[in-house]
Protein backbone atom coordinates (compact mmCIF):
# COMPACT_ATOMS: atom_id res chain seq x y z
CA UNK A 1 0.00 0.00 0.00
CA UNK A 2 1.10 3.48 -0.76
CA UNK A 3 2.00 5.56 2.24
CA UNK A 4 3.25 9.04 2.88
CA UNK A 5 0.36 10.62 1.07
CA UNK A 6 0.42 13.54 3.45
CA UNK A 7 3.69 14.81 2.05
CA UNK A 8 3.46 13.74 -1.54
CA UNK A 9 -0.26 14.03 -2.26
CA UNK A 10 0.41 15.48 -5.68
CA UNK A 11 2.45 12.48 -6.72
CA UNK A 12 -0.04 9.90 -5.62
CA UNK A 13 -1.40 7.87 -8.53
CA UNK A 14 -4.86 8.89 -9.55
CA UNK A 15 -5.85 5.28 -10.05
CA UNK A 16 -4.10 2.23 -8.74
CA UNK A 17 -5.12 -1.39 -9.37
CA UNK A 18 -3.39 -4.27 -7.61
CA UNK A 19 -4.10 -7.80 -8.84
CA UNK A 20 -7.69 -6.93 -9.55
CA UNK A 21 -10.04 -9.69 -10.68
CA UNK A 22 -13.60 -9.16 -11.74
CA UNK A 23 -16.40 -11.51 -12.65
CA UNK A 24 -20.12 -10.90 -13.04
CA UNK A 25 -22.10 -13.32 -10.92
CA UNK A 26 -20.83 -16.84 -11.42
CA UNK A 27 -19.53 -16.15 -14.93
CA UNK A 28 -15.90 -16.35 -16.05
CA UNK A 29 -13.45 -13.67 -14.94
CA UNK A 30 -13.70 -10.67 -17.24
CA UNK A 31 -10.51 -9.24 -15.79
CA UNK A 32 -7.82 -11.18 -14.01
CA UNK A 33 -4.74 -10.01 -12.18
CA UNK A 34 -4.91 -6.50 -13.55
CA UNK A 35 -2.34 -4.19 -11.98
CA UNK A 36 -1.54 -0.67 -13.15
CA UNK A 37 -1.29 2.91 -12.06
CA UNK A 38 -2.48 6.07 -13.69
CA UNK A 39 -0.18 8.92 -12.80
CA UNK A 40 -1.41 12.47 -12.31
CA UNK A 41 -1.32 14.58 -15.50
CA UNK A 42 -0.89 11.45 -17.63
CA UNK A 43 -2.52 10.66 -20.94
CA UNK A 44 -3.23 7.09 -22.00
CA UNK A 45 -5.29 5.00 -24.30
CA UNK A 46 -7.07 1.87 -23.17
CA UNK A 47 -7.47 -0.51 -26.05
CA UNK A 48 -8.16 -4.07 -26.94
CA UNK A 49 -10.64 -6.07 -28.96
CA UNK A 50 -14.36 -5.77 -28.28
CA UNK A 51 -15.38 -7.70 -25.20
CA UNK A 52 -11.87 -7.58 -23.76
CA UNK A 53 -13.11 -5.82 -20.64
CA UNK A 54 -12.45 -2.13 -21.42
CA UNK A 55 -15.86 -1.00 -20.26
CA UNK A 56 -15.62 -3.16 -17.13
CA UNK A 57 -12.27 -1.60 -16.31
CA UNK A 58 -13.76 1.88 -16.70
CA UNK A 59 -16.71 0.91 -14.53
CA UNK A 60 -14.31 -0.30 -11.84
CA UNK A 61 -12.56 3.06 -11.90
CA UNK A 62 -15.96 4.80 -11.81
CA UNK A 63 -16.87 2.67 -8.76
CA UNK A 64 -20.10 1.54 -10.37
CA UNK A 65 -18.97 -2.06 -9.84
CA UNK A 66 -16.64 -3.46 -7.18
CA UNK A 67 -13.80 -5.90 -7.89
CA UNK A 68 -14.25 -9.55 -6.98
CA UNK A 69 -10.69 -9.56 -5.70
CA UNK A 70 -7.68 -7.28 -5.53
CA UNK A 71 -7.37 -3.67 -4.47
CA UNK A 72 -8.59 -0.57 -6.22
CA UNK A 73 -7.48 2.86 -5.02
CA UNK A 74 -8.88 6.04 -6.51
CA UNK A 75 -7.20 9.36 -5.70
CA UNK A 76 -5.21 7.50 -3.07
CA UNK A 77 -8.25 6.08 -1.35
CA UNK A 78 -8.82 2.36 -1.12
CA UNK A 79 -12.42 1.93 -2.22
CA UNK A 80 -13.66 -1.27 -0.57
CA UNK A 81 -16.19 -0.33 2.07
CA UNK A 82 -16.15 3.33 1.07
CA UNK A 83 -19.02 5.44 2.39
CA UNK A 84 -21.61 6.91 0.06
CA UNK A 85 -20.49 10.45 0.83
CA UNK A 86 -16.87 9.66 0.04
CA UNK A 87 -18.01 7.93 -3.15
CA UNK A 88 -19.81 11.07 -4.26
CA UNK A 89 -16.72 13.11 -3.42
CA UNK A 90 -14.54 10.87 -5.60
CA UNK A 91 -16.99 10.91 -8.49
CA UNK A 92 -17.06 14.70 -8.49
CA UNK A 93 -13.34 14.61 -9.27
CA UNK A 94 -13.92 12.46 -12.36
CA UNK A 95 -15.53 13.13 -15.70
CA UNK A 96 -16.87 10.35 -17.83
CA UNK A 97 -17.98 10.05 -21.43
CA UNK A 98 -20.12 6.96 -21.95
CA UNK A 99 -20.13 4.99 -25.14
CA UNK A 100 -23.91 5.43 -25.30
CA UNK A 101 -23.68 9.07 -24.11
CA UNK A 102 -26.27 8.73 -21.31
CA UNK A 103 -27.73 12.15 -21.88
CA UNK A 104 -31.01 12.76 -20.06
CA UNK A 105 -33.65 12.98 -22.75
CA UNK A 106 -35.96 15.33 -20.86
CA UNK A 107 -33.27 17.96 -20.33
CA UNK A 108 -31.95 20.31 -23.02
CA UNK A 109 -28.37 20.11 -24.22
CA UNK A 110 -27.54 23.09 -22.03
CA UNK A 111 -29.12 21.47 -18.95
CA UNK A 112 -27.36 18.18 -19.66
CA UNK A 113 -23.97 19.82 -19.91
CA UNK A 114 -24.61 21.89 -16.78
CA UNK A 115 -25.70 18.83 -14.79
CA UNK A 116 -22.40 18.13 -12.94
CA UNK A 117 -22.39 21.72 -11.67
CA UNK A 118 -26.09 21.72 -10.91
CA UNK A 119 -25.87 18.60 -8.73
CA UNK A 120 -23.21 20.39 -6.67
CA UNK A 121 -26.05 22.79 -5.87
CA UNK A 122 -24.31 25.75 -7.41
CA UNK A 123 -26.44 28.70 -8.49
CA UNK A 124 -27.30 28.59 -12.17
CA UNK A 125 -26.06 32.12 -12.78
CA UNK A 126 -22.59 31.18 -11.50
CA UNK A 127 -21.93 28.67 -14.28
CA UNK A 128 -24.14 29.83 -17.13
CA UNK A 129 -21.40 31.64 -19.03
CA UNK A 130 -19.01 28.74 -18.63
CA UNK A 131 -21.50 26.19 -19.96
CA UNK A 132 -22.47 28.33 -22.94
CA UNK A 133 -18.85 28.95 -23.81
CA UNK A 134 -18.00 25.25 -23.68
CA UNK A 135 -21.08 24.41 -25.75
CA UNK A 136 -19.97 26.94 -28.38
CA UNK A 137 -16.48 25.52 -28.31
CA UNK A 138 -17.66 21.98 -29.06
CA UNK A 139 -19.87 23.38 -31.82
CA UNK A 140 -23.21 23.09 -30.06
CA UNK A 141 -23.81 26.81 -29.60
CA UNK A 142 -26.86 26.72 -31.83
CA UNK A 143 -28.19 23.50 -30.34
CA UNK A 144 -28.13 24.28 -26.62
CA UNK A 145 -31.89 24.43 -26.24
CA UNK A 146 -32.53 21.20 -28.15
CA UNK A 147 -33.52 17.98 -26.41
CA UNK A 148 -31.06 15.07 -26.97
CA UNK A 149 -33.46 12.94 -29.05
CA UNK A 150 -33.25 15.64 -31.73
CA UNK A 151 -29.44 15.69 -31.77
CA UNK A 152 -27.39 13.71 -34.28
CA UNK A 153 -25.01 11.01 -33.04
CA UNK A 154 -22.04 13.35 -33.33
CA UNK A 155 -23.84 16.14 -31.52
CA UNK A 156 -24.82 13.80 -28.69
CA UNK A 157 -21.22 12.72 -28.39
CA UNK A 158 -20.00 16.30 -28.16
CA UNK A 159 -22.66 17.08 -25.58
CA UNK A 160 -21.56 14.04 -23.55
CA UNK A 161 -17.93 15.18 -23.78
CA UNK A 162 -18.85 18.70 -22.76
CA UNK A 163 -20.73 17.32 -19.75
CA UNK A 164 -17.65 15.33 -18.75
CA UNK A 165 -15.40 18.37 -19.04
CA UNK A 166 -17.53 21.11 -17.53
CA UNK A 167 -16.53 20.49 -13.91
CA UNK A 168 -12.82 20.36 -14.88
CA UNK A 169 -12.25 16.87 -13.52
CA UNK A 170 -8.92 15.57 -12.28
CA UNK A 171 -9.51 12.34 -14.15
CA UNK A 172 -11.34 12.01 -17.44
CA UNK A 173 -12.57 8.62 -18.62
CA UNK A 174 -13.88 8.40 -22.15
CA UNK A 175 -15.37 5.25 -23.62
CA UNK A 176 -15.06 5.34 -27.42
CA UNK A 177 -15.45 9.12 -27.46
CA UNK A 178 -14.81 9.42 -31.17
CA UNK A 179 -16.85 6.45 -32.32
CA UNK A 180 -19.65 8.46 -33.89
CA UNK A 181 -17.87 11.42 -35.38
CA UNK A 182 -16.03 12.03 -38.65
CA UNK A 183 -12.22 11.94 -38.60
CA UNK A 184 -11.74 15.70 -38.58
CA UNK A 185 -14.05 16.17 -35.60
CA UNK A 186 -12.39 13.17 -33.94
CA UNK A 187 -9.07 15.00 -34.19
CA UNK A 188 -10.59 18.16 -32.81
CA UNK A 189 -12.01 16.28 -29.86
CA UNK A 190 -8.66 14.59 -29.31
CA UNK A 191 -7.05 18.03 -29.22
CA UNK A 192 -9.58 19.03 -26.63
CA UNK A 193 -8.66 16.04 -24.47
CA UNK A 194 -4.99 16.82 -24.88
CA UNK A 195 -5.41 20.40 -23.88
CA UNK A 196 -7.33 19.30 -20.85
CA UNK A 197 -4.46 16.92 -20.07
CA UNK A 198 -1.94 19.72 -20.49
CA UNK A 199 -3.85 21.67 -17.88
CA UNK A 200 -3.45 18.84 -15.39
CA UNK A 201 -6.22 16.32 -15.94
CA UNK A 202 -5.33 12.66 -16.25
CA UNK A 203 -7.01 11.27 -19.33
CA UNK A 204 -7.95 7.68 -20.17
CA UNK A 205 -9.45 7.13 -23.60
CA UNK A 206 -10.86 3.71 -24.34
CA UNK A 207 -10.86 3.13 -28.06
CA UNK A 208 -10.01 0.63 -30.70
CA UNK A 209 -9.48 3.27 -33.34
CA UNK A 210 -5.80 2.75 -34.17
CA UNK A 211 -5.86 5.73 -36.51
CA UNK A 212 -6.71 7.93 -33.55
CA UNK A 213 -4.10 6.35 -31.28
CA UNK A 214 -1.41 6.82 -33.91
CA UNK A 215 -1.97 10.57 -33.78
CA UNK A 216 -0.52 10.83 -30.29
CA UNK A 217 2.51 9.43 -28.59
CA UNK A 218 0.93 8.08 -25.47
CA UNK A 219 0.92 5.15 -23.21
CA UNK A 220 -1.33 2.31 -24.38
CA UNK A 221 -2.97 -0.05 -21.96
CA UNK A 222 -3.89 -3.09 -24.01
CA UNK A 223 -6.48 -5.50 -22.67
CA UNK A 224 -6.64 -8.97 -24.13
CA UNK A 225 -8.53 -11.91 -22.68
CA UNK A 226 -8.91 -10.15 -19.36
CA UNK A 227 -5.22 -9.39 -18.91
CA UNK A 228 -3.56 -6.02 -19.19
CA UNK A 229 -0.36 -5.14 -21.00
CA UNK A 230 1.12 -1.68 -20.96
CA UNK A 231 2.95 -0.34 -24.02
CA UNK A 232 4.66 2.90 -24.86
CA UNK A 233 6.17 5.66 -22.77
CA UNK B 1 3.49 9.39 -35.82
CA UNK B 2 2.20 12.30 -33.91
CA UNK B 3 0.92 14.87 -36.32
CA UNK B 4 -1.33 16.57 -33.88
CA UNK B 5 0.05 18.31 -30.88
CA UNK B 6 -1.40 20.50 -28.28
CA UNK B 7 -3.93 22.82 -29.83
CA UNK B 8 -2.67 26.16 -31.00
CA UNK B 9 -5.72 27.99 -29.76
CA UNK B 10 -5.25 28.69 -26.12
CA UNK B 11 -8.00 31.26 -25.95
CA UNK B 12 -10.70 28.62 -26.02
CA UNK B 13 -11.47 25.28 -24.52
CA UNK B 14 -12.32 24.30 -21.03
CA UNK B 15 -9.08 25.47 -19.59
CA UNK B 16 -9.36 29.15 -20.32
CA UNK B 17 -8.34 31.23 -17.38
CA UNK B 18 -10.83 33.39 -15.50
CA UNK B 19 -14.52 33.39 -16.31
CA UNK B 20 -15.72 34.95 -19.53
CA UNK B 21 -15.43 38.73 -19.33
CA UNK B 22 -18.99 39.33 -20.38
CA UNK B 23 -21.87 36.92 -20.14
CA UNK B 24 -22.56 35.38 -23.52
CA UNK B 25 -25.94 36.09 -24.94
CA UNK B 26 -28.34 33.26 -24.30
CA UNK B 27 -31.24 32.29 -26.48
CA UNK B 28 -34.32 33.83 -24.93
CA UNK B 29 -36.14 30.51 -24.97
CA UNK B 30 -33.35 28.58 -23.22
CA UNK B 31 -34.79 26.37 -20.55
CA UNK B 32 -32.48 26.29 -17.56
CA UNK B 33 -33.60 24.37 -14.53
CA UNK B 34 -36.15 21.81 -15.60
CA UNK B 35 -36.95 19.19 -12.94
CA UNK B 36 -34.31 16.46 -12.88
CA UNK B 37 -36.92 13.74 -12.68
CA UNK B 38 -39.25 13.74 -15.68
CA UNK B 39 -42.74 14.83 -14.65
CA UNK B 40 -46.15 14.63 -16.23
CA UNK B 41 -46.31 11.03 -17.21
CA UNK B 42 -49.61 9.19 -17.12
CA UNK B 43 -48.54 7.62 -13.83
CA UNK B 44 -48.04 11.02 -12.18
CA UNK B 45 -51.46 12.19 -13.27
CA UNK B 46 -52.99 8.99 -11.93
CA UNK B 47 -51.20 9.48 -8.61
CA UNK B 48 -52.37 13.09 -8.38
CA UNK B 49 -55.92 11.88 -9.06
CA UNK B 50 -55.66 9.20 -6.35
CA UNK B 51 -54.35 11.76 -3.85
CA UNK B 52 -57.11 14.19 -4.85
CA UNK B 53 -59.83 11.58 -4.35
CA UNK B 54 -58.43 10.39 -1.02
CA UNK B 55 -58.04 13.97 0.20
CA UNK B 56 -61.60 14.72 -0.89
CA UNK B 57 -62.97 11.74 1.03
CA UNK B 58 -60.90 12.50 4.12
CA UNK B 59 -61.92 16.16 4.04
CA UNK B 60 -65.62 15.35 3.63
CA UNK B 61 -65.42 12.89 6.47
CA UNK B 62 -63.68 15.41 8.69
CA UNK B 63 -66.25 18.03 7.71
CA UNK B 64 -69.12 15.69 8.60
CA UNK B 65 -67.54 14.86 11.94
CA UNK B 66 -67.07 18.57 12.59
CA UNK B 67 -70.76 19.22 11.89
CA UNK B 68 -71.79 16.42 14.24
CA UNK B 69 -69.48 17.57 16.99
CA UNK B 70 -70.40 21.24 16.73
CA UNK B 71 -74.14 20.45 16.54
CA UNK B 72 -73.83 18.22 19.58
CA UNK B 73 -71.93 21.03 21.28
CA UNK B 74 -74.76 23.46 20.53
CA UNK B 75 -77.38 21.05 21.87
CA UNK B 76 -75.30 20.36 24.91
CA UNK B 77 -74.83 24.05 25.55
CA UNK B 78 -78.54 24.80 25.46
CA UNK B 79 -79.53 21.69 27.40
CA UNK B 80 -76.91 22.23 30.06
CA UNK B 81 -78.07 25.81 30.59
CA UNK B 82 -81.22 24.52 32.24
CA UNK B 83 -82.18 22.12 34.97
CA UNK B 84 -85.68 21.13 35.93
CA UNK B 85 -87.33 20.64 39.29
CA UNK B 86 -90.25 18.28 39.24
CA UNK B 87 -92.86 18.44 41.97
CA UNK B 88 -95.21 15.47 42.13
CA UNK B 89 -98.69 15.76 43.58
CA UNK B 90 -99.05 13.78 46.74
CA UNK B 91 -102.17 12.87 48.65
CA UNK B 92 -102.87 15.24 51.50
CA UNK B 93 -100.46 17.94 50.33
CA UNK B 94 -101.03 21.27 48.69
CA UNK B 95 -99.12 21.03 45.46
CA UNK B 96 -99.13 24.80 44.90
CA UNK B 97 -97.52 25.35 48.30
CA UNK B 98 -94.95 22.65 47.51
CA UNK B 99 -94.15 24.29 44.19
CA UNK B 100 -93.71 27.68 45.80
CA UNK B 101 -91.46 26.23 48.48
CA UNK B 102 -89.37 24.42 45.88
CA UNK B 103 -89.10 27.61 43.88
CA UNK B 104 -87.94 29.68 46.83
CA UNK B 105 -85.41 26.98 47.72
CA UNK B 106 -84.10 27.01 44.17
CA UNK B 107 -83.93 30.78 43.96
CA UNK B 108 -81.94 30.86 47.18
CA UNK B 109 -79.38 28.39 45.85
CA UNK B 110 -76.17 29.92 44.45
CA UNK B 111 -75.64 29.88 40.66
CA UNK B 112 -79.32 29.89 39.77
CA UNK B 113 -80.11 32.85 37.55
CA UNK B 114 -83.83 32.40 37.33
CA UNK B 115 -86.75 30.09 37.96
CA UNK B 116 -89.97 29.79 36.04
CA UNK B 117 -92.91 27.83 37.32
CA UNK B 118 -94.90 26.01 34.69
CA UNK B 119 -98.51 26.69 35.61
CA UNK B 120 -101.00 23.84 35.80
CA UNK B 121 -102.33 24.75 32.37
CA UNK B 122 -98.80 24.79 30.92
CA UNK B 123 -97.96 21.45 32.48
CA UNK B 124 -101.10 19.94 31.01
CA UNK B 125 -100.30 21.40 27.61
CA UNK B 126 -96.97 19.52 27.71
CA UNK B 127 -98.99 16.30 27.77
CA UNK B 128 -101.10 17.21 24.75
CA UNK B 129 -98.84 15.59 22.16
CA UNK B 130 -99.30 12.26 23.94
CA UNK B 131 -102.88 12.45 25.24
CA UNK B 132 -104.53 14.68 22.65
CA UNK B 133 -106.25 17.99 23.30
CA UNK B 134 -109.60 18.75 24.81
CA UNK B 135 -109.33 16.32 27.68
CA UNK B 136 -110.15 17.22 31.22
CA UNK B 137 -106.94 16.43 33.07
CA UNK B 138 -108.03 17.81 36.41
CA UNK B 139 -108.43 14.31 37.84
CA UNK B 140 -104.98 13.22 36.76
CA UNK B 141 -102.05 13.78 39.14
CA UNK B 142 -100.01 15.86 36.68
CA UNK B 143 -96.61 16.76 38.10
CA UNK B 144 -95.58 20.41 38.01
CA UNK B 145 -92.30 21.66 36.64
CA UNK B 146 -90.00 24.51 37.55
CA UNK B 147 -87.45 25.41 34.90
CA UNK B 148 -84.28 26.80 36.46
CA UNK B 149 -81.81 28.80 34.36
CA UNK B 150 -78.19 28.47 35.40
CA UNK B 151 -76.03 31.51 35.73
CA UNK B 152 -73.30 31.41 33.14
CA UNK B 153 -70.71 33.13 35.33
CA UNK B 154 -70.58 30.71 38.27
CA UNK B 155 -71.13 27.03 38.76
CA UNK B 156 -74.27 26.00 40.56
CA UNK B 157 -73.94 23.38 43.27
CA UNK B 158 -76.68 21.12 41.96
CA UNK B 159 -76.11 18.28 44.42
CA UNK B 160 -76.56 20.68 47.34
CA UNK B 161 -79.79 21.92 45.78
CA UNK B 162 -80.93 18.34 45.23
CA UNK B 163 -80.26 17.49 48.89
CA UNK B 164 -82.09 20.63 50.05
CA UNK B 165 -85.12 19.77 47.90
CA UNK B 166 -85.35 16.14 49.02
CA UNK B 167 -84.90 17.14 52.64
CA UNK B 168 -87.55 19.86 52.54
CA UNK B 169 -89.98 18.00 50.29
CA UNK B 170 -89.20 14.30 50.70
CA UNK B 171 -90.75 12.07 48.01
CA UNK B 172 -92.30 15.07 46.29
CA UNK B 173 -89.62 17.20 44.67
CA UNK B 174 -86.78 15.98 42.49
CA UNK B 175 -84.11 17.68 40.45
CA UNK B 176 -83.28 16.63 36.87
CA UNK B 177 -79.99 18.05 35.60
CA UNK B 178 -80.21 16.16 32.25
CA UNK B 179 -76.92 14.43 33.10
CA UNK B 180 -77.91 11.24 31.32
CA UNK B 181 -78.88 13.15 28.20
CA UNK B 182 -75.71 15.18 28.24
CA UNK B 183 -73.62 12.08 28.73
CA UNK B 184 -75.27 10.35 25.78
CA UNK B 185 -74.85 13.41 23.62
CA UNK B 186 -71.20 13.76 24.44
CA UNK B 187 -70.64 10.02 23.88
CA UNK B 188 -72.25 10.36 20.47
CA UNK B 189 -70.24 13.44 19.60
CA UNK B 190 -67.01 11.78 20.71
CA UNK B 191 -67.86 8.70 18.69
CA UNK B 192 -68.37 10.82 15.57
CA UNK B 193 -65.15 12.68 16.18
CA UNK B 194 -63.30 9.40 16.76
CA UNK B 195 -64.68 7.88 13.57
CA UNK B 196 -63.73 11.05 11.68
CA UNK B 197 -60.17 11.04 12.99
CA UNK B 198 -59.88 7.31 12.31
CA UNK B 199 -61.04 7.65 8.72
CA UNK B 200 -58.75 10.62 8.11
CA UNK B 201 -55.77 8.66 9.48
CA UNK B 202 -56.68 5.64 7.36
CA UNK B 203 -56.97 7.77 4.27
CA UNK B 204 -53.61 9.46 4.95
CA UNK B 205 -52.08 6.02 5.45
CA UNK B 206 -53.57 4.88 2.13
CA UNK B 207 -52.14 8.02 0.51
CA UNK B 208 -48.74 7.14 1.93
CA UNK B 209 -48.94 3.60 0.56
CA UNK B 210 -50.00 4.85 -2.88
CA UNK B 211 -47.02 7.20 -2.83
CA UNK B 212 -44.65 4.38 -1.82
CA UNK B 213 -45.75 2.32 -4.82
CA UNK B 214 -45.67 5.30 -7.15
CA UNK B 215 -42.20 6.32 -5.94
CA UNK B 216 -40.83 2.82 -6.39
CA UNK B 217 -42.35 2.76 -9.86
CA UNK B 218 -40.84 6.13 -10.68
CA UNK B 219 -37.43 5.03 -9.36
CA UNK B 220 -37.54 1.88 -11.47
CA UNK B 221 -38.73 3.84 -14.50
CA UNK B 222 -36.00 6.43 -14.04
CA UNK B 223 -33.17 4.06 -13.17
CA UNK B 224 -31.15 5.52 -16.01
CA UNK B 225 -31.65 9.07 -14.73
CA UNK B 226 -30.63 8.04 -11.21
CA UNK B 227 -27.52 6.31 -12.53
CA UNK B 228 -26.47 9.33 -14.59
CA UNK B 229 -27.09 11.63 -11.62
CA UNK B 230 -24.83 9.41 -9.53
CA UNK B 231 -22.10 9.45 -12.17
CA UNK B 232 -22.11 13.22 -12.50
CA UNK B 233 -21.59 13.49 -8.75
CA UNK B 234 -25.06 13.77 -7.22
CA UNK B 235 -25.32 12.27 -3.75
CA UNK B 236 -28.27 10.23 -2.53
CA UNK B 237 -29.68 13.17 -0.64
CA UNK B 238 -29.73 15.33 -3.75
CA UNK B 239 -31.46 12.59 -5.76
CA UNK B 240 -33.97 12.03 -2.96
CA UNK B 241 -34.67 15.77 -2.96
CA UNK B 242 -35.26 15.73 -6.70
CA UNK B 243 -37.84 12.96 -6.33
CA UNK B 244 -39.29 14.56 -3.24
CA UNK B 245 -39.88 17.87 -4.95
CA UNK B 246 -41.56 16.11 -7.85
CA UNK B 247 -43.85 14.14 -5.55
CA UNK B 248 -44.50 17.14 -3.32
CA UNK B 249 -45.74 18.99 -6.38
CA UNK B 250 -47.94 16.04 -7.32
CA UNK B 251 -49.21 15.76 -3.75
CA UNK B 252 -49.85 19.48 -3.60
CA UNK B 253 -51.80 19.33 -6.85
CA UNK B 254 -53.83 16.36 -5.58
CA UNK B 255 -54.30 17.92 -2.14
CA UNK B 256 -55.42 21.26 -3.56
CA UNK B 257 -57.85 19.59 -5.97
CA UNK B 258 -59.28 17.26 -3.31
CA UNK B 259 -59.54 19.87 -0.57
CA UNK B 260 -60.90 22.42 -3.05
CA UNK B 261 -63.57 19.98 -4.19
CA UNK B 262 -64.47 19.23 -0.56
CA UNK B 263 -64.72 22.95 0.26
CA UNK B 264 -66.95 23.49 -2.76
CA UNK B 265 -69.12 20.52 -1.80
CA UNK B 266 -69.55 21.80 1.75
CA UNK B 267 -70.33 25.32 0.59
CA UNK B 268 -72.80 23.98 -1.96
CA UNK B 269 -74.45 21.67 0.57
CA UNK B 270 -74.82 24.58 2.98
CA UNK B 271 -76.39 26.65 0.25
CA UNK B 272 -78.81 23.88 -0.76
CA UNK B 273 -79.73 23.24 2.87
CA UNK B 274 -80.52 26.91 3.30
CA UNK B 275 -82.70 26.82 0.17
CA UNK B 276 -84.50 23.65 1.25
CA UNK B 277 -85.12 24.93 4.72
CA UNK B 278 -87.93 27.05 3.33
CA UNK B 279 -89.43 23.97 1.66
CA UNK B 280 -91.63 21.29 3.23
CA UNK B 281 -88.73 18.99 4.16
CA UNK B 282 -86.74 21.85 5.62
CA UNK B 283 -87.55 21.22 9.22
CA UNK B 284 -86.52 17.56 9.07
CA UNK B 285 -83.25 18.47 7.38
CA UNK B 286 -82.56 21.12 9.96
CA UNK B 287 -83.47 18.77 12.76
CA UNK B 288 -81.00 16.24 11.38
CA UNK B 289 -78.08 18.40 10.37
CA UNK B 290 -78.58 21.56 12.32
CA UNK B 291 -77.91 24.51 10.07
CA UNK B 292 -75.47 22.47 7.97
CA UNK B 293 -72.64 24.89 8.30
CA UNK B 294 -69.19 23.67 9.04
CA UNK B 295 -67.90 27.04 10.16
CA UNK B 296 -64.37 28.36 9.81
CA UNK B 297 -62.99 25.50 11.91
CA UNK B 298 -64.38 22.96 9.46
CA UNK B 299 -62.94 24.84 6.49
CA UNK B 300 -59.60 25.10 8.28
CA UNK B 301 -59.61 21.35 8.94
CA UNK B 302 -60.29 20.64 5.26
CA UNK B 303 -57.44 22.91 4.15
CA UNK B 304 -55.19 21.35 6.78
CA UNK B 305 -55.96 17.87 5.46
CA UNK B 306 -54.98 19.00 1.94
CA UNK B 307 -51.69 20.37 3.27
CA UNK B 308 -51.00 17.25 5.35
CA UNK B 309 -51.68 15.02 2.34
CA UNK B 310 -49.03 16.93 0.33
CA UNK B 311 -46.53 16.80 3.18
CA UNK B 312 -47.12 13.08 3.67
CA UNK B 313 -46.51 12.60 -0.05
CA UNK B 314 -43.22 14.49 0.08
CA UNK B 315 -41.96 12.78 3.24
CA UNK B 316 -42.93 9.29 2.15
CA UNK B 317 -41.36 9.70 -1.30
CA UNK B 318 -38.12 10.97 0.22
CA UNK B 319 -38.00 8.09 2.68
CA UNK B 320 -38.76 5.57 -0.08
CA UNK B 321 -36.05 6.97 -2.36
CA UNK B 322 -33.48 6.87 0.43
CA UNK B 323 -34.33 3.26 1.11
CA UNK B 324 -34.28 2.42 -2.59
CA UNK B 325 -30.84 3.95 -3.09
CA UNK B 326 -29.32 2.25 -0.06
| CATH number assigned to the domain comprising residue A50 | 3.40.50.300
Low-confidence ranges of chain B (pLDDT < 70): 1-29, 40, 153-154, 279-293
- The answer to whether residue A121 sits within a structural domain is no
Smallest CA–CA separation between B41 and chain A, in Å?
12
- Is residue B247 a contact partner of residue B214, using CB atoms and an 8 Å limit? yes
**The total number of residues written for chain A in this structure:** 233
Q: Write the pLDDT tens digit of every residue in B81-126.
A: 788 888 888 888 888 888 888 888 888 888 888 888 888 888 888 8
Contact B23 A129 (CB under 8 A): yes
Contact A115 B236 (CB under 8 A): no
**Chain B positions in Cβ-Cβ contact with residue A145 (cut-off 8 Å):** 27, 29-31
Ramachandran sector of residue A101 (left: φ over 0; alpha: ψ -120 to 50; beta: rest): left
Whether ipTM tops 0.90, in short, is no
Contact A62 B225 (CB under 8 A): no
- The answer to whether residue A91 sits within a structural domain is yes
Q: Supply the pLDDT for residue B26.
A: 64
Contact B233 A88 (CB under 8 A): yes
Q: Supply the pLDDT for residue A133.
A: 92
Q: Write the pLDDT tens digit of every residue in A124-142.
A: 889 999 999 999 988 899 9
- How many domains does chain A contain in total? 1
- The answer to whether residue A126 sits within a structural domain is no
Q: Domain coordinates of chain B in residue numbers?
A: 42-77+182-325, 89-171
Residue A122 contacts B where some CB pair is shorter than 8 Å: no
- The answer to whether residue A206 sits within a structural domain is yes
Q: Supply the pLDDT for residue B4.
A: 36
Backbone angles phi, psi at B84, to 5 degrees: -125, 135
Residue B277 contacts A where some CB pair is shorter than 8 Å: no
With both helix axes pointing from N to C terminus, report the angle between A124-137 and A109-118 in degrees, rounded to the nearest 10. Answer: 130
Residue B283 contacts A where some CB pair is shorter than 8 Å: no
Q: Which structural domain, as residue segments, surrounds residue A24?
A: 15-104+169-231
- Is residue A135 a contact partner of residue A145, using CB atoms and an 8 Å limit? no
Which residues make beta-bridge pairs with A36? A17
Backbone angles phi, psi at B202, to 5 degrees: -60, -45
- Is residue B118 a contact partner of residue B182, using CB atoms and an 8 Å limit? no
Q: Supply the pLDDT for residue B3.
A: 38
Amino acid sequence: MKTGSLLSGAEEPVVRFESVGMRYGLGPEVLSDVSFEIAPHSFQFLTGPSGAGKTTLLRLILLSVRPTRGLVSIFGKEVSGISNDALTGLRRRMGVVFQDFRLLDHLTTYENVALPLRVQERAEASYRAEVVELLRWVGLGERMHVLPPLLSGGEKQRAAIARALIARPELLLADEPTGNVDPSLARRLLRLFMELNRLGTSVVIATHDYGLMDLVEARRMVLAEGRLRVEGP
Amino acid sequence: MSEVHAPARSDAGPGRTAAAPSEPTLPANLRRNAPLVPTDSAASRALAAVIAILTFLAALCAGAAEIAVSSAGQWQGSVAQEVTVQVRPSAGRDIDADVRQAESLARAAPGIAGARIFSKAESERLLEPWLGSGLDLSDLPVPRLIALTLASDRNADLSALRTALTTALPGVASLDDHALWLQRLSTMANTFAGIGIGVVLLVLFATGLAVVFATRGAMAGNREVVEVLHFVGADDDYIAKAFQSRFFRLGLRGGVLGAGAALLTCALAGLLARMWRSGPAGEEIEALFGTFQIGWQGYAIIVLIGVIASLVTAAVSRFTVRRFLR
